[in-house]
Amino acid sequence: MREERRRIFRELHDRALQLLSSVRLRAEVCRREYIRDPKVLEKELLIIEENTELAVAEIRRLLSESQAETDLVAGTLERRLREEMEIFRSRSGLQLTFHCAIDSHTLPYTVERELYFTLREGVINAIRHSRASELRLSLANENGTCRASLEDDGTGFDLASTEGGSHYGLRIMRERIEKLGGRFTIDTAPGKGTRISMTIPTE
C-alpha cells in the first residue's frame, strides 16, 4: 500500500504538477510582459488553457487507474529535452544551454524515462527559485555510466534546509536516480549557485 501511494504521488508529480508549474510560469510572464500585447497575450492564454486541460485529464486518468505507464517514446530523450529547453528559454529569459553526447537508443528505456522527468523537474526548480541568469544542462554516456549535470549561477541555498519538509521536488529527483542504482549529489551554498550531478549505471 505504501509503495502504491508513492507511485501515485510520483505520477501526479511528473504529470499534473509539472504541467501546472508550466501554467504558473506562463501566467507570470503574461502578467509581467504581455498584458499590453493582446495578440501575444491571447496566444499564451490559449496555451495555458490547453495545459490546464491536460493536467485535469492526467489526474482523471490516474484516479480511474486507466493511465498508461508512460507516453514517452524510446530514443527521444535528447529531442524532448531540447524542446523543453526552447520553451523555457523563450518564456523565462534565462540563457539556457544544453549539451548532449548521447546517441538515440543507447540508454535503457527506464533510464531515459527517469532522466527526462528528473532533469525537467530540475530545470523548472531552477527557473522558479534560483534567480539565475544562466542554466547549463549536459548529458554524456561513457563506459557504461550515464552522467548528467544541471548547473546555474543563481542564489544557491542552504542544503541542510531542504531535508524533510515540503521540498518534494528535490526528494523525488533523488529517489528517481537512486532507484536506478545511481548517485545524486547537490553542490550549493547561499550566493554560490547550484550544481546537481547524477551518475547512473547503464550496463
Both 62 and 78 in one domain: the answer is no
Kindly report, residue by residue over 73-118, the tens digit of the pLDDT: 787 888 888 888 887 787 777 888 899 888 877 888 888 888 988 9
Both 124 and 195 in one domain: the answer is yes
Both 113 and 52 in one domain: the answer is no
% of the chain surpassing 70 pLDDT: 82
Both 50 and 148 in one domain: the answer is no
Both 85 and 184 in one domain: the answer is yes
Both 100 and 50 in one domain: the answer is no
Q: Is residue 69's pLDDT more than 50?
A: no
Q: How many folded domains does the chain comprise?
A: 2
Both 124 and 189 in one domain: the answer is yes
Both 26 and 83 in one domain: the answer is no
Q: What is the average pLDDT across 131-145?
A: 89
DSSP for the chain? -HHHHHHHHHHHIIIIIHHHHHHHHHHHHIIIIITT-HHHHHHHHHHHHHHHHHHHHHHHHHHTT---S--PPTT-HHHHHHHHHHHHHHHH--EEEEEEE--TT-S-HHHHHHHHHHHHHHHHHHHHHS--SEEEEEEEEETTEEEEEEEE-S----GGGGSSTT-HHHHHHHHHHHTTT-EEEEEE-TTS-EEEEEEEE--
pTM: 0.65
Confidence grade of residue 65 (pLDDT, cut at 50, 70, 90): very low
For residue 43, the enclosing domain spans 1-69
CATH assignment at residue 167: 3.30.565.10
pLDDT at residue 157, rounded to an integer: 85
Both 91 and 35 in one domain: the answer is no
For 122, list phi and psi in degrees, rounded to 5: -65, -40
pLDDT at residue 57, rounded to an integer: 63
Other C-beta atoms lying within 10 Å of the C-beta of residue 1: 5
Both 99 and 180 in one domain: the answer is yes
